[in-house]
Structure 1
């Protein structure tokens, strides 16, 4: 007799087929490696993915977590799917200690203030963000599997703190030198945010090399939000707001 986990895997497979994505693409858009989803679906393990992974997988498949568990969707849960903040809002509902801790960390004043501005402008990065630039970065997914691009680095952002530098070139160099799985994870999250107009919350771990002999491991909570910004020619460009804090 199929277990609840077996049923969950069957529904995930069905949603992947319905989405038109490959297992590799779905895994990457969920912020994981391209082999993560197929490995989990084939695994005999009785352990479910974490709440954050499931929330981001649901976002990548354009559905709610309730649908993955076979629960009926209500008008409220449908709003999570159609709204730009549905994956973040859904994470706030998940009864998971680690996720609750992540959300608590993102409730720090700097992150909350950026979130308030993002909500009030519907993601348009304009003069209402003028006093907030120090607290977030702006990223774009890499082209042709290349490294993510950073176009703004907040002077008080986690990247500046971890790299012990406010030079944008050092942040870009760090992204350029990410291991492939880490690079795919970042690009996957950025693409999910831009393609689905939804926020994602993850808590990655990275090793930061400060010089030839010094390195440190950083655990952090990361919030990606879709945004638009006008460049020098007044053309509107879609970008991702990156907010992060130590976990």
Structure 2
């Protein structure tokens, strides 16, 4: 085998060996992507309980489309007290626990422009598919967890953010640190969010994959240049 060919193969082997540790970093990057900032979620819920969510939408009816508003603007009295059976409640909770607040990468299947989930059942299902667990009582919750209510025995109809000391924040109706038991209900479930979450979302995997590819390309080029200079010096 000629010397230049051996040198090229040796350089390629060394590059592979040096890039391999980056692949081992993927689990750490996944965990870092999924950290849940509980204080951020509580702060968002307390700051926006009487304001429109920061994505600039509100659900005024439970069956209609959302209405565009000024994100972060103060709600009208009508919107603060709109429909006690829940229209903007799960949207508000999604924003509080999600990227605007707590940092979870909440899906937004309704529209790429409307953050998070619209339906109470859909939000609960997303959380309970490995990202959260049901607990027996409010005493087992931590601030920034979620409570969902069955108001009349017909299914889950209302979502709120638990902010500690047995208090909640919510939209539809707007509530700031009110006792969780103030909501009329026939059934209730307490949802404790796990940190970090157990299942990365598709968007998280895409972001991690893109980052790893870019890092690998940059590092491979850098290593190649260094090894080439070393080889040329002999």
TM-score using structure 2 length:
0.25
Bigger radius of gyration: 2
User: Whose relative contact order is higher, 1 or 2, with alpha carbons under 8 Å and at least 6 apart?
Assistant: 2
TM-score using structure 1 length:
0.24
More helix as a share of residues: 1
